[in-house]
Chains A and B, each alone.
With several copies, the nearest count.
Chain A
Amino acid sequence: ERKNEARAPKQQVVALDETTVDPAVWGKNYPAQYESYMKTKEMVPGPGLFDTMSPETRTPTADDPRTQIMPQRNDEDPRITHMWAGYAFSKDYRHPRGHYYMLEDQRLTKRVQDFKQPGTCLNCHASMPTIYSKLGNGDQQAGFDKVNSMTYAEATKYAEHPVSCIDCHDPKTMKLRVTRPAFIRGIKALKASQGVTNFDPNTDATHNEMRTFVCAQCHVEYYFKGEGKTLTFPWDEGIDIDDIYSYYQKEGFTDWTHGETGAPMLKAQHPEFDIWSNGIHAENGVTCADCHMPYQSQGAQKVSDHNLTTPLKTVNASCMTCHHASDDEMIKRVEKIQGRFVHSRDQAFDALVQLIADIKAERDAHGDTADVKRAWEYQRKASFYLDYVYSENSHGFHAPDYTQRILNDVTDACRKGQLALKGVSDEQMQPSENTLADDKKVAQTRG
């Protein structure tokens, strides 16, 4: 019957299995998907006012053969050097170029060249299933542990390709799958915090969830846990930023010691999934693939666009099946959200930089006084919260009011830190009775 034809297998030109890591081989069976997948090489700027795709040409050198590279964000915005003082990110941090470059960009960043990094980094920058297999003798989890415990220099030798077909698709059935142990553990913990126990995404997720989960293997906030440097997603208490911060506090985790103030710091990285989870699109089941991999007609077939980039290049296909507006109007709406984000982000960022300057001045004058230590706490929280929305790459679009709410926490914490240094006590800055009462109601609206 016709309904079932839908799943009739494509004719297979080559046989694919768990050892087929080269996307070009998969491309023989799926030329349209392969072709668009290869387009992540092209670095085409998008139309948005806050678009970040602006590659610069450079003369290749012996240790860095790249002829094009994205501008240094530390030059673009020197506030970064203060926020991340003493940490590798303050030396080299750029906008992403595209999936095609993920392995090359990682190998060549100063964060790897000038600093010792663990193999853990590789998990999100290369095609991993075959590496896990090899290193774990067929056991993915064992391979994962092995990668994490190696040095980056060692581990990267095993890598041949950036994220490839095999990372997201089962080679036999083409079904979506997740292949990263860190995600499998993380999502299980997150679902448990929501009352769903023993969740295994590869068997229990809906197909629609998988259209987000394949991306959520990498586009998430993470840290390296313990001696084993195990890649870990901090979702055990939930996926509101307060839950995540509380998790780190209980874990007693610290990424680095701040270079200008001495505070024990946390770094946040690209929490696209985390923030999307708190937005209205997630609430409506709108997935990453819906916007970033819109269907395109290719002759008599529909195919998912595997050129992962800003959806503003494809607004019509990405947005207009659900929204009704002109392309320009749709882009304007995104820009308006992003403009508000940039306004609040800058306000919060200036406050953070001023807090850092104040702590530094106080330390230089009087050493690590009790007030400096109190200010550290404000800095640690403010910096993590700001970083969380700064390192998220949608400029606030994925969850506009949630992102703004986080920025309010940042501004408040920075300024309180400054006041603490002026001798204002924590009691004088405490939340009022009304706030404490409202907090209980607000808690009911979360999750």
Chain B
Amino acid sequence: MGARSLRSWLTLQRVAAAVAIWVVGSLIGVGVFTLIYGKAYSYLGSDPVTCTNCHVMNKQYDGWTKGSHHNVATCNDCHTPHDSIVHKYWVKADDGVRHGFKFATNTYPENIQIRDTNLKIANDACLYCHSDFTSSIHQTVPEGEQLSCVHCHRDVGHK
């Protein structure tokens, strides 16, 4: 967050909320609070409806139901790693606690933007399903780099 956006982020309301949470958190533990109040445990499931336990996910959920992948991929197919079960649950826990905390404290932006690490996970997911179709176009890509599917297909998951 740049200095500019920080200025607009720091409204009185948010500062007050953050302080309040800090007080509550130090009493009963931010983790537990987040997990319960913020329903961060939802991250552990795989039913898309559990994601909408937080209304902030409604927009993406609505998009997904209209999107081309509605019948072929659920949230976790795109937003959690396919490489190992440990990595998968690590990401779920990381996202769950992070987002749960932000949800509970109302400190997320109006338009949520995917983080680079999670974008990479989504891109890996594209390749997990489509690598046959895209193997040809991938041969010109240097080792260690990936074609960004989302550069062109930003909408597949959500429109």
Let me know if chains A and B touch directly in the complex, using CB atoms closer than 8 Å.
Answer: yes
Residues of A within 8 A of B (CB): 1-3, 5-10, 47, 169, 173-176, 206-208, 285, 290, 294-297, 300-304, 313-317, 320-322, 324, 326-328, 331
- For A206, A290, A316, A328, the residue with the greatest tally of chain B CB atoms inside 10 Å of its CB is A316
- A5–B135 touching, CB < 8 Å: yes
In the complex, 5 of the A-B residue pairs with CB atoms within 8 angstroms, ordered by the A residue number, are A175-B140, A175-B142, A297-B110, A317-B111, A321-B152
Contact A316 to B111, CB < 8 A, known contacts A285-B151, A328-B2, A331-B4: yes
Contact with A along B30-71 (1 / 0, CB 8 A): 000000000000000000000011011010000000000000
CA distance A140 to B135 in the complex (A): 32
- B137–A10 touching, CB < 8 Å: no
Which residues of A have CB within 8 Å of B1? 327
Contact with A along B145-157 (1 / 0, CB 8 A): 1011001111000
Which residues of B have CB within 8 Å of A295? 110, 137
- A3–B141 touching, CB < 8 Å: no
- B4–A327 touching, CB < 8 Å: yes
Query: Which residue on B lies nearest to A32, using beta carbons?
Result: B136
Lowest 3 CB-CB distances: which A-B pairs, in order? A317-B110, A320-B111, A321-B152
- B133–A207 touching, CB < 8 Å: no
- B110–A294 touching, CB < 8 Å: yes
Residues of B within 8 A of A (CB): 1-2, 4-5, 7-8, 52-53, 55-56, 58, 83, 109-111, 113, 124, 127-128, 131-143, 145, 147-148, 151-154
CA distance A290 to B136 in the complex (A): 16
CA distance A302 to B152 in the complex (A): 14
CA distance A300 to B137 in the complex (A): 12
CB distance from B11 to the nearest CB of A (A): 10
Contact A7 to B138, CB < 8 A, known contacts A294-B110, A327-B5: yes
Query: Which residue on B lies nearest to A325, using beta carbons?
Result: B113
- For A3, A173, A304, A314, the residue with the greatest tally of chain B CB atoms inside 10 Å of its CB is A3
Which residues of A have CB within 8 Å of B55? 2-3, 6, 300
Query: Which residue on B lies nearest to A290, using beta carbons?
Result: B152
Query: Which residue on B lies nearest to A326, using beta carbons?
Result: B2
CB distance from B149 to the nearest CB of A (A): 10
- A206–B145 touching, CB < 8 Å: yes
Which residues of A have CB within 8 Å of B154? 322, 324
Contact A10 to B5, CB < 8 A, known contacts A5-B132, A290-B152, A316-B111: no
- A2–B110 touching, CB < 8 Å: no
CA distance A315 to B141 in the complex (A): 25
Which residues of A have CB within 8 Å of B5? 315-316, 327-328
- B110–A47 touching, CB < 8 Å: no
Which residues of B have CB within 8 Å of A300? 55, 132-133
- B148–A208 touching, CB < 8 Å: yes
Query: Which residue on A lies nearest to B2, using beta carbons?
Result: A328
Which residues of A have CB within 8 Å of B134? 6, 302
Which residues of B have CB within 8 Å of A176? 140
Contact A296 to B137, CB < 8 A, known contacts A3-B55, A3-B128, A324-B154: no
Which residues of A have CB within 8 Å of B83? 1, 3
CA distance A357 to B137 in the complex (A): 55
- For A1, A300, A313, A314, the residue with the greatest tally of chain B CB atoms inside 10 Å of its CB is A300
Which residues of A have CB within 8 Å of B52? 3
Contact A47 to B4, CB < 8 A, known contacts A207-B147, A208-B148, A297-B110: yes
Q: Which of A8, A314, A316, A327 interacts with B135 by CB under 8 Å?
A: A8
CA distance A304 to B140 in the complex (A): 11
CB distance from B43 to the nearest CB of A (A): 17
Given pairs A285-B151, A314-B110, 20 additional interface contacts (CB within 8 A): A2-B55, A2-B127, A6-B131, A6-B135, A7-B135, A8-B135, A9-B139, A47-B8, A173-B139, A175-B142, A207-B141, A295-B110, A300-B133, A301-B136, A303-B137, A313-B8, A315-B5, A316-B110, A317-B111, A322-B152
CA distance A208 to B146 in the complex (A): 10
Which residues of A have CB within 8 Å of B58? 6
Query: Which residue on B lies nearest to A313, using beta carbons?
Result: B8
Which residues of A have CB within 8 Å of B145? 206-207
- B127–A320 touching, CB < 8 Å: no
Which residues of B have CB within 8 Å of A1? 83
CA distance A3 to B137 in the complex (A): 13
- A6–B127 touching, CB < 8 Å: yes
Which residues of A have CB within 8 Å of B152? 290, 321-322
CB distance from A263 to the nearest CB of B (A): 44
Query: Which residue on A lies nearest to B109, using beta carbons?
Result: A316
Query: Which residue on B lies nearest to A317, using beta carbons?
Result: B110
CA distance A8 to B134 in the complex (A): 11
CA distance A207 to B55 in the complex (A): 26
Which residues of B have CB within 8 Å of A304? 137
- A3–B127 touching, CB < 8 Å: yes
Query: Which residue on B lies nearest to A48, using beta carbons?
Result: B4
Which residues of A have CB within 8 Å of B141? 7, 175, 207
